[in-house]
């Protein structure tokens, strides 16, 4: 094989590795709704193929690219990856960049990817001011930075560093690094959309989880404790009076953890209230009518619900309940606790019989 053929073969291999790297980075965007996790995956994707150290800094205040930013530029380092032997400090917050030759400010001023000049010897002054000296004591001397732009504003800066013993980046390498920066923008945009949607769903859900009514002779307490950290979903509880001596209690769950689930929850909650107050009938009949309304309007195909009606006679309360796929109620007394398994679980749309528990 001639020298030219060897070089051509190596070039093909190198390009194949670049494409594989970019494919891994692109796939990282679909693994999580958490932008921090996506950015961490992007940082890892370029090490060691294109960098010995990769970081992502998110700006406290987004600014227009290609302009002079208000100083100091304040960032949080939210992602970092490096080869073995490189000092990887924990998450750094509130780093202040004064614009005196530092890479963060330079990336914003330039508005596009650039090579950041580094001193031939010693530690740059901006590294001393920002507490990142340890990074450069590991022999990292080549830096490329790129602004991450979302909706026309620089929201973050990614940096890529090489050890002084490694050859510098080629033009193809720089194009790949620029693509990684664009992927970072997609990750942050995903995060902004997700956070806005989650916030709306959370407001909607909490607006529906109202305080239970005050009923003489009863003490009603409600607790909602999300199983996941997102706190948003289609779970709900409700209690409302059907008359002076009747109280309805509802617990339901719409499948999902987003604004769609929260909206479906709101529709079902309002429908249950309307059906329960429309006429005097038992829990089974109410759930049957709810099933027909849900099916006719297409509110949600996946939901479970338990409806109980408490009726007072003198100083005693009688509870009748029916369940559509939901776990049975738990009766807790001074003598212990037990599940009320005598109830009927049924598929919505059928005609169940209600179970009664008298207390």
Q: Which tens digit of pLDDT belongs to each residue from 261-315?
A: 778 888 898 999 999 998 889 999 999 999 899 888 888 878 889 999 999 998 8
Q: SS in 3 state form for the chain?
A: CCHHHHHHHHHHHHHHHHHHHHHHHHHHCCCCCCHHHHHHHHHHHCCCCCCCEEEEEEEEEEECCCCCCCCCEEEEEEEEEECCCCCCCCCEEEEEECCCCCHHHHHHHHCCCEEECCCCCCCCHHHHHHCCHHHHCCCEEEEEEEEEEECCEEEEEEEEEEECCCCCCCHHHHHHHHHHHHHHHHHHHHHHHHHHHHHHHHHHHHHHCCCCCCCCCCCCCCCCCCCCCCCCCEEEEEEEEEECCEEEEEEEEECCCCHHHHHHHHHHHHHHHHHHHHCCCCHHHHHHHHHHHHHHHCCCCCEEEEEEEEEEECCEEEEEEEEEECCCCEEEECCEEEECCCCCECCECECCCCEEEEC
Q: Where are the domains of the chain?
A: 3-199, 210-358
Is 80 exceeded by the pLDDT of residue 204?
A: no
CATH code: domain 3-199 is 3.30.450.40
The larger pLDDT score, comparing residue 38 to residue 72, is at 72
Is 50 exceeded by the pLDDT of residue 356?
A: no
Q: Which tens digit of pLDDT belongs to each residue from 125-156?
A: 788 777 777 666 678 888 999 999 999 999 99
CATH code: domain 210-358 is 3.60.40.10
The pTM of the whole model exceeds 0.75? no
Q: What is the mean pLDDT of the segment spanning 111-127?
A: 80
Pick from 63-77, 169-183, 343-357: least confident? 343-357
């Amino acid at each position: 094989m001639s020298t030219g053929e060897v070089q051509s073969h190596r070039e093909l291999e190198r390009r194949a590795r670049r494409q594989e790297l970019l494919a891994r980075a692109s796939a990282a965007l679909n693994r999580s709704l958490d932008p921090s996790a996506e950015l961490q995956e992007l940082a890892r994707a370029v090490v060691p193929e294109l960098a010995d150290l990769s970081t992502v800094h998110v700006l406290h205040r987004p600014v227009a690219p290609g302009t002079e930013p208000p100083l100091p530029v304040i960032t949080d380092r939210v992602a970092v990856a490096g080869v073995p032997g490189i000092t990887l400090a924990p998450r750094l917050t509130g780093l202040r960049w004064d614009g005196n030759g530092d890479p963060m400010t330079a990336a914003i001023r330039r508005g596009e990817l650039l090579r950041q000049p580094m001193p031939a010897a010693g530690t740059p002054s901006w590294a001393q001011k920002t507490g990142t000296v340890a990074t450069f004591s590991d022999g990292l001397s080549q830096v490329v930075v790129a602004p991450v732009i979302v909706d026309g504003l620089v929201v973050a800066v990614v940096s890529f560093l090489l050890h002084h013993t490694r050859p510098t980046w080629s033009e193809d390498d720089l194009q790949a690094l620029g693509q990684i920066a664009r992927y970072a923008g997609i990750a942050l945009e995903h995060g902004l959309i997700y956070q806005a949607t989650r916030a709306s769903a959370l407001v909607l859900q909490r607006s529906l989880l109202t305080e239970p009514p005050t009923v003489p002779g009863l003490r009603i307490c409600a607790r909602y404790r999300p199983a996941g950290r997102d706190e948003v979903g289609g779970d709900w509880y409700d209690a409302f009076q059907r008359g002076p001596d009747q109280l309805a209690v509802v617990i339901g769950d719409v499948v999902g953890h987003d604004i769609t689930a929260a909206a479906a929850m709101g529709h079902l909650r309002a429908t249950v209230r309307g059906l329960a107050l429309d006429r005097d009938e038992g829990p089974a009949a109410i759930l049957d009518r709810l099933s027909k309304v849900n099916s006719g309007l297409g509110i949600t195909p996946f939901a479970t619900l338990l409806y109980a009606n408490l009726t007072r006679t003198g100083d005693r309360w009688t509870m009748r309940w029916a369940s559509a796929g939901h776990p049975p109620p738990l009766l807790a007394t001074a003598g212990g606790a037990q599940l009320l398994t005598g109830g009927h679980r049924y598929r919505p749309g059928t005609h169940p019989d209600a179970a009664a528990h008298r207390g």
